[in-house]
Amino acid sequence: MTDKLIKVRAAVKLVNDKLNFSGIVEGNSPVSIDYIPPLGDNLGYTSLELLLLSLSSCLGSAMLLFLRRMQKSISEFEIISTGLRNQDHPTGFKSVLLTIHVKSPDVNEADLIKVAGLAEEKYCPVWSMIKGNVLINLDYTITR
Amino acid sequence: MTDKLIKVRAAVKLVNDKLNFSGIVEGNSPVSIDYIPPLGDNLGYTSLELLLLSLSSCLGSAMLLFLRRMQKSISEFEIISTGLRNQDHPTGFKSVLLTIHVKSPDVNEADLIKVAGLAEEKYCPVWSMIKGNVLINLDYTITR
């Protein structure tokens, strides 16, 4: 395995005669990737869904690392992503809403805004790669 | 299920006390997402690997659609992605090399360059979202 701090590798291999790919990274179960009918057959994640998983897991990881450094106690943490596509090509996201749900006895909304701001500025590499091209909005819900 | 041509949804939910998330999109098997030690435990795809799967499947789909419109016959199609990370935060990709392997009796390199160009300009939404932020290089291998 290469050092993932320096170099990251992945492969996609076509597995049918339409658009179903098997996504492969050494050490992981393959991910089925496909597009919606009629071009694909809904046999897996779409490329845009994978982008949302990439972005939200990156943001979530950065936020959790900072919240833990602040000695906050987190019992549940979830991010729901909704991306609105441009209706003309290229049909990427015009905007993405990330709704962050946290269950914690001691986290407040100001804490979440602070750590999300750190992620946006500097510590979420996926966010940095789409910055300027996609509008990202955040929303928070906290339960005790 | 919402209309994925308009709105795309995904969720990530923390499943341990470090950085292991379960990535969920309705209708698909969950994807395990994690980071490398010591912050994570290598229990799944990293966010940056998911970005490579997203980008390469998007590019591959656009290329295949155009190659098929050109009546080309494709028996194997694979894209190997290698992303080189910035060494300062944000540690996203400085550059990504996408190596496209095609097995076909009638595709030549000029065809691949042409359809990849169409994807870059307009038909690969993931590429459009990182454009200007990440340098993308393409390389081709063809077998008969």
Using CB atoms, which residue from B28, B60, B82 is nearest to A7? B82
Instruction: Look at residue B41 and give its three-state secondary structure.
Output: coil
Point out the residue among A29, A61, A90 whose CB comes nearest to the CB of B35. Answer: A61
Bigger pLDDT: B66 vs B2: B66
Q: How far apart, in whole angstroms, are the C-alpha atoms of residue A61 and residue A56?
A: 8
Answer yes or no: do A49 and B79 touch at CB < 8 A: no
CATH code given to domain A52-143: 3.30.300.20
How many beta-carbon pairs below 8 A join chains A and B? 255
The CA angle A34-A43-B14, to the nearest 5 degrees, is 85
Is domain B47-143 in CATH 3.30.300.20, yes or no? Answer: yes
What percent of chain A is modeled with pLDDT above 90?
99
Terminal-residue alpha carbon distance, chain B? 41
Do A33 and B53 lie within an 8 Å CB cutoff? yes
Q: Check pLDDT > 90 for residue B29.
A: yes
Identify which of B5, B12, B134 has the shortest CB distance to residue A85: B5
| Residue contact A8–B60, C-beta within 8 A | no
- Name the nearest CA neighbour of B35 among A73, A62, A70, A123: A62
Q: In a 3-state reduction of DSSP, which class is residue B76?
A: strand
pLDDT in tens, B95-116: 999 999 999 999 999 999 999 9
Residue A2, pLDDT above cutoff 90: no
Distance from CA of A109 to the nearest CA of B (A): 19
Tens-digit pLDDT profile for residues A70-126: 999 999 999 999 999 999 999 999 999 999 999 999 999 999 999 999 999 999 999
Model confidence pLDDT, tens digit, residues B115-131: 999 999 999 999 999 99
- In this structure, the strands spanning A135-143 and B7-14 are unpaired
pLDDT of residue A1: 54
- Do the beta carbons of residue A92 and residue A86 sit within 8 Å? yes
Reported pTM:
0.98
Residue from A21, A35, A76, A129 whose CB has the most chain B CBs within 10 Å, to mutate:
A129
Q: Please report, as a single letter, which amino acid is at residue A21.
A: F
State the pLDDT at residue B1: 54
- Mean pLDDT over B35-54 rounds to 97
Per-domain residue ranges of chain A? 1-45, 52-143
Separation of alpha carbons B49 and A110, rounded Å: 31
